[in-house]
Structure 1
Amino acid sequence: MLLGLPSLILGMVRFVLRWAIKLIAWVARPLSWAFDRMLGALASTYPRVLGWSLRARPVVLGVALLALLGAASLVPKLGLNLIPQFSQGEFSFLVELPEGTPLQATDRFMADIQTVLADDTRVASYSTIAGGSGLSLTSTGTEGENTAALQVRMNPDASREDEAAVIAVLRERLAASDLAHSKFERPTYFSFRTPIEVEVYSDQLEELHQAAALIQETIRDVPGLVDVKSSAELGNPELHVTFNRDQLVRLDLDVASVASTLRNKIQGQVATRFTQADREIDILVRSVDDGQASVDEISQMIVGQRAGVPIFLKSVANIRVAEGPTEIRRIGQKRTAVISGNLSGRDMGAVAADIRSELKALALPGGVVARLSGQEEEMARSLNSLLLAMALAIFLVYLVMASQFESFLHPFVIIFTLPLGAIGVIVALFLTGTSINIVAMIGMVMLAGIVVNNAIVLIDAINQRRNEGMDKHAAILDAASSRLRPILMTTATTVLGLAPMALGLGAGAELRGPMAITVIGGLVMGTFLTLLIIPVVYSLLDRKVYAAAGARPAVPEGDAFPEFEPEGGPLPLMPGSPEAAR
């Protein structure tokens, strides 16, 4: 009984597969019928169209050139981005109120902001964290009760437009408050910088802050630029003590000793240590509590004495409350302020062009230098690298084809499919509203090795027929007609395989879609133009003369080669051979 079980299982599997194949064939029968009808119509029409193209070669090449120029005119309208903009279903806003805002006030402010999300059906959940570490807009470790974070998660069925609308509502609500500064963030999947960053360099801190404030106000009104922030924008309240050096000299004091005394009185000094079991606890002695001290208490501190008379700080220094920078950033050992911003509704290339125009129109001090960086700078480097990779791919493809065809002309004819494919790429990106980005450029590099396959098949078939003795015109017509079906089926299978990716099905499809759209557009347009343009280019450029069928040397009947008899008579026969026996 057990010995027959494998055979029984194998029989059931074969039965299920047989009926599954029949069911698939029955379901696909209408599609197969439609494809056969379409292919039959193309097969009957294509030779006539190709024949006319070979007779009207200037017209065909002129139309192809106009199509290429028309596609090139669409390139500025595509836009440039480092990576495609895609919806992740969640985002957050970091909010910072003025320094010293109590936790209760921060919580009330965030509760008021949340009211715009309470009845929004597009939002699945939201939460607020008030106070704590990691919430500051800067990296100086000054997080406290005045900082908060609002985290929002969208419904699974919410579209990218719904997410953009919710973000716009929150931005508008936060912008209505003159006290709060906010920063928009998404979950970090790539270690890229902010989309737009303007780096301002100066050796003078005051000039740096003034130039950064001027640039920030100038670019804030650029369309498509939101969440404009400056690293020199926010300041914490601090006490500035400016010593009067002349007064210090008259009182026989020096700046270093007075500053050291003042620091020890405010920050404290370890006087001794208290030992408890195996622990040593520092005993810190200071004059005031640095978190509660007032300006008057600081000014009344004794920083020295003369002839037994105490000298107060206010008598040798000017004390005032001011705002200092939250951070002093350096890039390449140069003091720098960074103005950053996000994008909304426009591509990065267009926004960067407007910012460059604004920066050129600004009259900055002589010691101040401003330049554009961020993702725009990374995009320029990445595009240059991918263009080099594409050029290398085309060169390697040409070398491989030249070695196989043993000709430098035929690979050059095949390379003509690349600009034809570029027409399809540009049109596909324009029709789908997709910008040029790194993912699309990777698709172009892939296309450089895919789109030439059809031309290779076509040129090889033409050369085979010409080797058989056909003239050039007849060889082109016959080879193109015989290779029409394989070329179309190869293109159709590739396009159908990439269709789900291009349609944006599945999570993260916005990131993969541009590559599929690029390959599909370039392959479809390249295929149809290859069937017409490549034969025309071949007929114009190929000047190789093939031997005619009747001019080939005749092969004698019987033996494949004529009998050869050496000088001096025939060679002696080997003993025992059939010829010797005869």
Structure 2
Amino acid sequence: MHTAIRWFAHNPVAANLLMILLLLGGAYGAIATNQEEFPNFDIKIISIAVPYLGAAPIEVERSVCVRIEETIEGLEGIDKINSTSTEGLCSVWVELLVDADEAAVLNEVKGRVDAINSFPKETEKPIVSKAAVTRRVVQIAVSGKTDERTLKEIGRNLRDDIAAIKGISQVAVDYIRPYEVSIEVSEVALRRHGITLAQVSRVIRDSSLDMPGGAIKTRNGEILIRTTGQAYWGQEFENIIVLTEKDGTRVALSDIAVIRDTFEEGDLRARFNGDRGVVVNVSQVGKEDLIMIAEQVRELVGEYQYEVPEGIELNTWIDTSFELQERMSVLTKNAGGGLVLVLVILALFLKFRIAMWVAIGIPVALLGTLAALPFTDITISTMTVMAFILVLGIVVDDAIVVGERVFAHEQMGKPPLQAAIDGTWEVSVPVIFGVLTTIAAFLPLIMVEGRMAGFFAPIGWVVMFALICSLIESQLILPSHLAHRNRSEPTSRIAIAWDKFQGGLSAWLEKLAIRHYKPFVRRVVTWRYVSASVGLGVLILALSLIASGRVVFGFFPAIEGDRVYAGLELPEGISAEVTLAAAGQIEAAARRLNEDMTRELGMSQPLVRNMLSSVGQKVDRDGPGGPAGAGRSNIAEIVIDLAPLSERNNISSKEVVVRWREYVGAVPDAVQLTFDADKYSAGSPIEYQLKGKSIDELREAAEELKAELSRYSGVFDISDSFRSGKQEIQLSLLPEARNLGLTLADLAGQVRAAFYGTEAQRMQRGQDDVRVMVRFPEQERKSIGNLEDMYIRTPSGQEVPFYSVAKFEISRGYSSINRIDGRRTITVRADVDRSVVAPEEVSSSIRRELIPAFQKRYPKVNVSLGGELDESATAMRGLAIGSLFSMVVIFGLLAIPLKSYLQPLAIMSVIPFGAVGAIVGHYLMGVQLMFFSALGIVALSGVVVNSSLVLVDYANRRRREGVLLIEAILDACVVRFRPIMLTSVTTFMGLVPLMSTTTPATAPFKPMAISLAWGVLFATFITLLLVPCLYLMVEDWKHQLARFSAWLGHRPPPERQLRMKVDADST
């Protein structure tokens, strides 16, 4: 290393070229690296979907989901199997182990599922794919007072045009139903002509088709033979001949049926600002650039507005690029403020030119980091900017130590070049190993487990890159700059005045170190065991803040956006019209809220910009939880789009939600009504999963658990995942039916054909896969009486009334059936007001007071944590393992340069006191401890040992020069006083703007900044006071160990005895 330092010091051109390379590389990285709001991370989940149209959830579970679970159970690499059986669909999610070969498991799962041959014949082909977290960039609402077909076609045309833009690969249209040709034949028509629905379907399949017929090989070449007669549109089916009467009369399909070219029957619709609408979703995939996507889509939509029919409006109502730019703007301002404060501190305590060259290390390190990003999977996101803010004051630490030491060698009278080389070399070992320990401290951030791991890893990587770049700058570039800097005296009045002021400040700091600090430290180390006891007491007091609940611990802070959500659920079986009417009450409340809050806040523009109401499908919200997915006719969601945060006087989305909830009040017949403002979250604050075989037992247990949760103050919105399904008519045969040759399959098939329909054929019409369904008319499918009036056809062709061969019972089934690892599951969830009670406190109380008795009453029910607490436990487990690994690495990195096993322990003893500072900082600032706080404390461990390492290294150097033990440590305290104070204060000041901000945009990141800033500040005093005590205590123990060794007869060599005696006397 000495050779490299000397070579660069003698070659300023090489040093400047290296600096320019890092700066230009950073400029390239800033342009080439894609931007996104939050980091893109992979989830190892395989999705399996099997449609079983018309089937009840219990049938879907038995016939499809259970068979899939049994088929893939036990496959290597699978961690958990979740399934949900809903009406007409089996959905299975296979969670993989972290180290699983995703491609291999996907192929194996697909092969096994495709090989299942025992599915009911009505099921469709299984869809097996890798699940991914969707990241919506832009949502365009297409709305107007027009019909559903027009909106769908405009939406799809817009989708196709957007998808054609280079750099955009995923565009979809929501709230649209598939096309369908419905051929409706009444019971009267069937009986008049003596035919069945099955026969009508067969005729359609035989009459509507295109089929190749081979080729005729002539002398001049081949001529293809084709039969063409496929009907594609409703009117084209009208002339199909169904039968010919005995008198020769031909009966066409239009004579016996109503043919409707329409949409699939279903309850899926949306209103945008009061008008019917569809939504075009543009998503970000892989390394696509969010800002570029948003800009190009906005430009296209602006042009497209002039091409749509009058009365149709296109609104880009969700654009995450604006949220990203606003959040990045706030963070960038905080970073700029922190940088200014760091520069001011440097200029105050270092000579101006030294301070200038030291400060240049900041942009060199940051831009050098940006230069590395294009070669990784890291993007420029809010987490990346957060990492840059964290590292602002850290990257300058090694440059301060080097610059301060070079200046000290110049004051010894050495030539500038030699002073730069000697000063840099003197501190190179502690500086290099100090940076390495800081890097080691950030390793746990990339070792966090769970769904949220992808949020934290970029912080760790960015900090590591920045520290490596800062080390290169301080060891190779900075010495050259200091060796060849201009040393002319200042000539201007301002420069002269500033030089005198700075000189006076430096002299005051030096006087403080010699006249006040050194005598105080001498007294502290004299009473070192008492001092250590006081430090231990302070540590216990700080931990008591958590134990007493004065400082509350949470997990992942909820990240707000500019939208708030209201979710409504009515009883199963309610029609979409009734649900939309109930949603109207919530919409009306939102309009009143808009008028009142716009007036109260004095806003020139409305608080509520847009409003989307949907039935049958929830709005897709990005994040680790994945898409919200499809729902049913009894569910609705209302989303209001708020003005940007800066335009609504920094009123948080949660405050808007509270007011909206008050305005809505109670909704008649509502099973559940929830409000939410979180864009990203780690799950419900309180969530328990109850697993067992009997749904009745699970329901009883869930009700008891909900009743227990309702006893806690601050716990609200308590609900469970169980929902009673629609009413079911369960059919069975009468004994008389057997005499007629009827089977249960005959009965089920004819009833299904009449009320659900039989698929005559499926055709490709343009880009649509259109089904042709044959069934009863809608008016003959509206009551139980229609079922009773139906006629059943026997194998002999006889028509008999339904009631003469079958009976039915009316019961209520399940809305959905959830399973985890083969067991039925009901999930109990609740929200928490953290100002009243912490989720951990509720969970701990439930675990102590309820669970033991609960398990005795329900021995077949397994209770496990889910949601935020489960995610927290998983993440904390990974963090604990990473922290342990980090501590081992830090110990090794300290032991190597110090050549001691005990001195690293003395240095690492400051780490818990850094945690004390973090806890006290949260308490003083009134901020809840979060998982981000824990990450900050872990990262803090590498930062706080740096100053201690520099201190101990200098003390060891002085001892090697022959200075007595206590004087060596006192000299180290005085000499290292200024660089230790500077490095700590710059780290703290770099984070002050972020800690001080009150905007919701930065609220999730404050806890980590508080931990690092306050931890470093508190650990500084520990380094300057307690580390000298621990250093001498280590020597005391070594001396006692030597005496004990001598007592055992293993006396050390004479020279070692003399050295120990001198040290003991000095002590």
Give the TM-score normalised by the residue count of structure 1: 0.78
How far does the alpha carbon of each residue in 1:68-121 deviate from its partner, in whole angstroms, 9 at most, with x for none? 111121223233322224543432222234422526623532343222443013
Say yes or no: does 1:197 pair with 2:687: yes
- 2:881 aligned to which of 354, 366, 388: 388
The 5 Å alignment of 1:447-462 reads: 447-462=940-955
Q: How far 1:383 sits from its partner (Å)?
A: 0.9
- 2:839 aligned to which of 340, 345, 348: 348
Secondary structure in 2 matching 1:328: strand
Identify the residue that residue 512 of structure 1 maps to in structure 2.
1005
Q: Distance in 2 between matches of 1:25 and 1:246?
A: 113
CA pair 316-27 structure 1, distance change in 2 beyond 3 A:
farther
- 2:657 aligned to which of 143, 167, 178: 167
CA pair 159-28 structure 1, distance change in 2 beyond 3 A:
farther
Identify the residue that residue 422 of structure 1 maps to in structure 2.
915
CA pair 313-281 structure 1, distance change in 2 beyond 3 A:
farther
Q: How far 1:63 sits from its partner (Å)?
A: 0.7
Q: Distance in 2 between matches of 1:221 and 1:161?
A: 31
Identify the residue that residue 177 of structure 2 maps to in structure 1.
none
- 1:371 aligned to which of 854, 864, 868: 864
Contact 1:229 1:339 in 2 (8 A): yes
Q: Distance in 2 between matches of 1:500 and 1:24?
A: 29
Q: Distance in 2 between matches of 1:209 and 1:358?
A: 17
Identify the residue that residue 612 of structure 2 maps to in structure 1.
129
Secondary structure in 1 matching 2:953: helix
Identify the residue that residue 5 of structure 1 maps to in structure 2.
none
Say yes or no: does 1:118 pair with 2:607: no
Identify the residue that residue 555 of structure 2 maps to in structure 1.
82
Identify the residue that residue 312 of structure 1 maps to in structure 2.
802
Say yes or no: does 1:51 pair with 2:51: no
Secondary structure in 1 matching 2:1032: helix
CA pair 249-413 structure 1, distance change in 2 beyond 3 A:
same
Q: Distance in 2 between matches of 1:315 and 1:428?
A: 78
Q: Which residue identity lines up with residue 618 of structure 2 in the other structure?
A: L
CA pair 537-280 structure 1, distance change in 2 beyond 3 A:
closer
Q: How far 1:387 sits from its partner (Å)?
A: 1.6
CA pair 26-150 structure 1, distance change in 2 beyond 3 A:
farther
Identify the residue that residue 642 of structure 2 maps to in structure 1.
153
Contact 2:607 2:648 in 1 (8 A): no
Question: How many equivalent pairs are there?
Answer: 526
Identify the residue that residue 240 of structure 1 maps to in structure 2.
729
Q: How far 1:271 sits from its partner (Å)?
A: 6.3
Secondary structure in 2 matching 1:177: coil
Identify the residue that residue 585 of structure 2 maps to in structure 1.
109
Secondary structure in 2 matching 1:324: strand
Q: Distance in 1 between matches of 2:946 and 2:538?
A: 22
Contact 2:529 2:1029 in 1 (8 A): no
Contact 1:219 1:358 in 2 (8 A): no
Secondary structure in 1 matching 2:971: helix
Give the TM-score normalised by the residue count of structure 2: 0.45
Contact 1:389 1:445 in 2 (8 A): no
Identify the residue that residue 64 of structure 1 maps to in structure 2.
535
CA pair 396-145 structure 1, distance change in 2 beyond 3 A:
closer
Contact 1:128 1:150 in 2 (8 A): yes
Q: Which residue identity lines up with residue 108 of structure 1 in the other structure?
A: G
Contact 1:81 1:348 in 2 (8 A): yes
Q: How far 1:252 sits from its partner (Å)?
A: 6.1
Identify the residue that residue 176 of structure 2 maps to in structure 1.
none
Q: Distance in 2 between matches of 1:24 and 1:193?
A: 58
Q: How far 1:373 sits from its partner (Å)?
A: 0.7
CA pair 505-458 structure 1, distance change in 2 beyond 3 A:
same
Identify the residue that residue 578 of structure 1 maps to in structure 2.
none
How far does the alpha carbon of each residue in 1:398-428 deviate from its partner, in whole angstroms, 9 at most, with x for none? 1122111111122122111112222212211
Q: Distance in 2 between matches of 1:441 and 1:203?
A: 39
Identify the residue that residue 94 of structure 1 maps to in structure 2.
567
CA pair 89-206 structure 1, distance change in 2 beyond 3 A:
same
Q: Distance in 2 between matches of 1:531 and 1:318?
A: 85
- 1:335 aligned to which of 824, 832, 835: 824
Q: Distance in 1 between matches of 2:509 and 2:741?
A: 104
Higher mean C-alpha displacement, 162-171 vs 130-139: 130-139
How far does the alpha carbon of each residue in 1:346-386 deviate from its partner, in whole angstroms, 9 at most, with x for none? 44323433444455554753432222211211111111111
Give the percent of matched residue pairs that are identical in Structure 1 and Structure 2. 22
Secondary structure in 2 matching 1:451: helix
Q: Distance in 1 between matches of 2:664 and 2:498?
A: 56
Q: How far 1:539 sits from its partner (Å)?
A: 1.5
- 1:184 aligned to which of 675, 686, 703: 675
Contact 1:80 1:350 in 2 (8 A): no
Identify the residue that residue 474 of structure 2 maps to in structure 1.
none
Q: How far 1:456 sits from its partner (Å)?
A: 1.2
Q: Distance in 2 between matches of 1:280 and 1:223?
A: 53
Q: Distance in 2 between matches of 1:231 and 1:240?
A: 24
Q: Distance in 2 between matches of 1:335 and 1:23?
A: 78
CA pair 195-162 structure 1, distance change in 2 beyond 3 A:
same
Identify the residue that residue 566 of structure 1 maps to in structure 2.
none
The 5 Å alignment of 1:285-296 reads: 285-289=774-778, 292-296=781-785
Q: Distance in 1 between matches of 2:629 and 2:913?
A: 54
Say yes or no: does 1:222 pair with 2:712: yes
Say yes or no: does 1:208 pair with 2:701: no
Secondary structure in 1 matching 2:816: coil
Q: Distance in 2 between matches of 1:512 and 1:327?
A: 38
CA pair 22-327 structure 1, distance change in 2 beyond 3 A:
farther
How far does the alpha carbon of each residue in 1:241-271 deviate from its partner, in whole angstroms, 9 at most, with x for none? 2426667667764433222222122223356
CA pair 309-477 structure 1, distance change in 2 beyond 3 A:
closer
CA pair 328-71 structure 1, distance change in 2 beyond 3 A:
same
Identify the residue that residue 538 of structure 1 maps to in structure 2.
1031
Contact 1:82 1:375 in 2 (8 A): yes
**What runs of 5+ residues in structure 2 fail to find an aligned partner?**
1-488, 621-626, 1040-1055, 1063-1067
CA pair 306-41 structure 1, distance change in 2 beyond 3 A:
closer
Q: Distance in 2 between matches of 1:291 and 1:426?
A: 70
CA pair 460-188 structure 1, distance change in 2 beyond 3 A:
same
Say yes or no: does 1:299 pair with 2:788: yes
Q: Which residue identity lines up with residue 64 of structure 1 in the other structure?
A: G
Contact 1:131 1:143 in 2 (8 A): no
How far does the alpha carbon of each residue in 1:465-492 deviate from its partner, in whole angstroms, 9 at most, with x for none? 2222222222222221222122111211
The 5 Å alignment of 1:243-282 reads: 243=732, 253-269=742-758
Contact 1:420 1:530 in 2 (8 A): no
CA pair 421-273 structure 1, distance change in 2 beyond 3 A:
closer
Q: Distance in 2 between matches of 1:174 and 1:220?
A: 22
Contact 1:462 1:479 in 2 (8 A): yes
Q: Distance in 1 between matches of 2:712 and 2:887?
A: 40
CA pair 117-392 structure 1, distance change in 2 beyond 3 A:
same
Q: Distance in 1 between matches of 2:979 and 2:780?
A: 81
Q: How far 1:131 sits from its partner (Å)?
A: 3.6
CA pair 110-128 structure 1, distance change in 2 beyond 3 A:
farther
Q: How far 1:212 sits from its partner (Å)?
A: 3.2
**RMSD after superposition:** 3.9
Contact 2:688 2:866 in 1 (8 A): yes
